[in-house]
Amino acid sequence: MSSDQQAMLETLAAAVGRQLLLAGERLVTAESCTGGWLAQCITAVAGSSGWFDRGFISYSNAAKSELLGLGGDMLAAHGAVSEATAAAMARGALARSPADWAVAITGIAGPDGGTLEKPVGTVCFAWAQADAQVFTATRRFQGDRRAVRAQSVECALGGLLPRIGRRSA
């Protein structure tokens, strides 16, 4: 990834931060395949402590259970890479934070680990508002591991931006 691409992600994070500040809201993240890259882009923004509460990196299924409260039955039924798991990660992050919004990312960045149903590049997202609706999406990104992860961070931030400040209970 070029420094221009990283700068673009940080600019997007800054836009999210401005919206959160205007709404008087805070954000928590729950990341798997991005390994903290989303939180890194957020904390690269000066003043992010005013709108970012914390981030969870739950790379393994055990971490998803221990840190975010996901049950083994849910993971067994849906798999680590599913919209149901992303939604549970987001809800779990909100339950463990005073934040107003959670963004969750779980996927297969590659180069291995894909299946016919969930090929490399499959990434599931959830955007959850405290005490309100959870929005989910699945995307299939192209490129190498770094490209998939970068596109995932961009999608997570871009998916949150239009939702901030809107109550959707």
Strands 101-107 and 27-31: parallel
Residue 88 domain-assigned (yes or no):
yes
Peptide bond before residue 111 is cis, with ω within 30 degrees of 0: yes
Whole-prediction pTM: 0.96
71-95 pLDDT, tens digit each: 989 999 999 999 999 999 999 999 9
Residue 24 domain-assigned (yes or no):
yes
Domain holding 106: CATH number? 3.90.950.20
Structure tokens at 72: 């083994």
What is the mean pLDDT, run by run of 10 residues, along the chain of 169 residues?
Answer: 90 98 97 98 98 98 97 93 98 98 98 95 97 95 97 98 76
> SS3 for 59?
coil
Residue 164 domain-assigned (yes or no):
no
Residue 167 domain-assigned (yes or no):
no
Domain count, the chain: 1
Can you give the residue range of the structural domain that contains 128? Answer: 3-158
